[in-house]
Amino acid sequence: MKAVKALSCSICGGRSIYFKRYSGEALCEKCFKKDVVNRVRRTISRYDLLKPYDRIMVAVSGGKDSLALLKILYEIEQDFPQAKLFAALINEGIGEDYREESEKIAEQICSDLGVPFYTLSFEEAFGFTLREAVESGAAKKLGVNPCTICGVLRRKALVLAARRLNATVIATAHTLDDVVQTYLLNLLKGEGNIKPVGLRRENGYVIPRVAPLRLVPEHEIALYAYLEKIPFQTKTCPYTHTSMRDRVRTFLNWYAAHRPEALYAFLNNFERMLPKPGTENRCEICGEPTSRRICRACELELAIRNYLRRS
Q: Which does 256 bind (CB under 5 to 8 A by kind): Zn ion, ligand SF4, none?
A: none
Contact pattern for ligand SF4 over residues 150 through 179, marking x by CB under 6 A: xx----------------------------
Residue selected from 183, 239, 266, 270 as contacting ligand SF4 according to rule CB under 6 A: 239
Q: Which does 11 bind (CB under 5 to 8 A by kind): Zn ion, ligand SF4, none?
A: Zn ion
| Three-class secondary structure assignment of the chain | CCCCCCCECCCCCCECCEEECCCCEEECHHHHHHHHHHHHHHHHHHHCCCCCCCEEEEECCCCHHHHHHHHHHHHHHCCCCCCEEEEEEEECCCCCCHHHHHHHHHHHHHHHHCCCEEEEEHHHHHCCCHHHHHHCCHHHHHCCCHHHHHHHHHHHHHHHHHHHCCCCEEECCCCHHHHHHHHHHHHHCCCCCCCCCCCCCCCCCCCCEECCCCCCCHHHHHHHHHHCCCCCCCCCCCCCCCCHHHHHHHHHHHHHHHCCCHHHHHHHHHHHHCCCCCCCCECCCCCCECCCCCCHHHHHHHHHHHHHHHC
Min dist. Cβ of residue 279 to Zn ion (A): 17
Using CB under 6 A as the binding rule, whether residue 62 contacts ligand SF4 is answered as no
Nearer to ligand SF4, 83 or 248 (CB): 248
Nearer to ligand SF4, 33 or 209 (CB): 209
Give the residues across from 20 on adjacent strands.
25
Nearer to Zn ion, 29 or 271 (CB): 29
Residue selected from 237, 256, 298, 304 as contacting ligand SF4 according to rule CB under 6 A: 237
Q: Do 22 and 264 form a contact (C-beta atoms < 8 A)?
A: yes
Q: Give residues 271-290 in contact with ligand SF4 (rule: CB under 6 A).
A: none
Min dist. Cβ of residue 38 to ligand SF4 (A): 31
Nearer to ligand SF4, 71 or 99 (CB): 99
Q: Which does 147 bind (CB under 5 to 8 A by kind): Zn ion, ligand SF4, none?
A: ligand SF4
Q: Which stretch binds ligand SF4 (CB under 6 A): 4-12, 52-60, 147-155, 161-169?
A: 147-155
Contact positions toward Zn ion, by CB under 5 A?
9, 11-12, 14, 28, 31, 283, 285-286, 295, 298
The strand pair at 84-91 and 55-59 is best described as: parallel
Q: Do 297 and 155 form a contact (C-beta atoms < 8 A)?
A: yes
Nearer to Zn ion, 9 or 157 (CB): 9
Using CB under 6 A as the binding rule, whether residue 95 contacts ligand SF4 is answered as no
Min dist. Cβ of residue 163 to ligand SF4 (A): 22
Please give the Cα distance from 210 to 172 (Å, whole number).
Answer: 6
Q: Which does 28 bind (CB under 5 to 8 A by kind): ligand SF4, Zn ion, none?
A: Zn ion
Q: Which does 9 bind (CB under 5 to 8 A by kind): ligand SF4, Zn ion, none?
A: Zn ion
The residue ranges that bind ligand SF4 (CB under 6 A) are 94, 146-147, 150-151, 237, 239-240
